[in-house]
């Protein structure tokens, strides 16, 4: 019964409801995937090991640092491990490349969600225009009826409401995931700066040793 009501409501929204349905499904898929990814990523965080790793680097204990970094799925530790294992690039370049990989993983599909937030209201506006055009065309028709005119207006209102609803519901998780991404970027940049400073200190200590 409820499904039939929803389906009839969907049909009254006009042809533009089909691309809006696609936008809604895409938004649900992206939000679900990103929520699962961030939940899984939060479990991988290992702050105690991260502190031990930075402490080992501070004491110029590269061997211990590599042991601590092995096997960890923490994104910051993964970045440090990549920089410690660099062979053909400098430490800053290795850190930048590793951080870029982590940020690319964290920001996956956010551009899709951002596009949907903008696209859905525009599709709703398109439905508004087509619905009102249909209503005014009925006004000029010889077969004028209240049902025909109000049908176009209802189409316009449904399409607008659905477009705005999709955008509003998608905007909240978009801002949330963007905030998580910004926080991760800050953590990576902070850790990278520490690693660079500690690596330079290790080089100076080695150079001073006769």
**pLDDT digit string (tens) for the chain, length 210 residues:** 667 777 787 888 888 999 999 999 999 999 999 999 999 988 888 888 888 888 887 776 777 877 888 888 888 888 888 877 765 567 788 888 888 989 999 999 999 999 999 999 999 999 888 888 877 776 655 455 566 667 778 888 899 999 999 999 999 999 999 999 999 999 899 888 888 777 666 555 554 545
Residue of 194, 176, 203 lying closest to 80 (CA atoms): 194
- Residue matched to tokens 């702050």: 47
Greatest Cα pair distance in the chain: 102
Residue 124's alpha-carbon distances to 23, 111, 114, 148, 204, in angstroms, are: 11, 20, 16, 20, 63
Residue 126's alpha-carbon distances to 7, 115, 165, in angstroms, are: 20, 16, 15
Residue of 90, 87, 44, 46 lying closest to 200 (CA atoms): 90
Q: Look at the alpha carbons of 169, 114, 31, 163 in this order and tell me if their dihedral is positive or negative.
A: positive
Residue of 133, 139, 175 lying closest to 155 (CA atoms): 133
Q: How far apart are CA 34 and CA 76, in angstroms?
A: 19
Indicate the pTM of the whole model: 0.82
Taking the CA of residue 140 as centre, how many other CA atoms within 13 Å lie in the half-sphere pointing to its CB? Answer: 5
């Amino acid at each position: 019964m409820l499904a039939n009501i929803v389906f009839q409501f969907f049909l009254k929204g006009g042809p533009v409801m089909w691309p809006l349905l696609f936008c809604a499904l895409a938004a649900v898929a992206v939000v679900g995937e990103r929520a699962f990814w961030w939940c899984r990523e939060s479990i991988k965080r290992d702050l105690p090991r991260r502190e031990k790793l930075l402490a080992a680097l501070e004491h110029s204990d590269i061997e211990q640092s590599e042991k601590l970094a092995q096997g960890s799925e923490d994104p910051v530790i993964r970045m440090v491990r990549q920089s410690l294992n660099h062979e053909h690039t400098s430490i800053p370049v290795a850190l930048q490349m590793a951080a870029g990989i982590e940020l690319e993983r964290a920001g996956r599909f956010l551009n899709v969600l951002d596009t949907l937030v903008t696209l859905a209201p525009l599709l709703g506006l398109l439905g508004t225009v087509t619905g009102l055009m249909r209503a005014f065309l009925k006004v000029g028709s010889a077969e004028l009826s209240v049902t025909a005119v109000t049908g176009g207006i209802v189409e316009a209102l449904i399409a607008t409401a659905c477009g705005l609803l999709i955008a509003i519901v998608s905007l909240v998780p978009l801002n949330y995931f963007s905030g998580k991404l910004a926080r991760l970027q800050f953590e990576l940049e902070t850790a990278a700066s520490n690693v660079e400073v500690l690596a330079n200190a290790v080089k100076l200590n080695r150079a001073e040793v006769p």
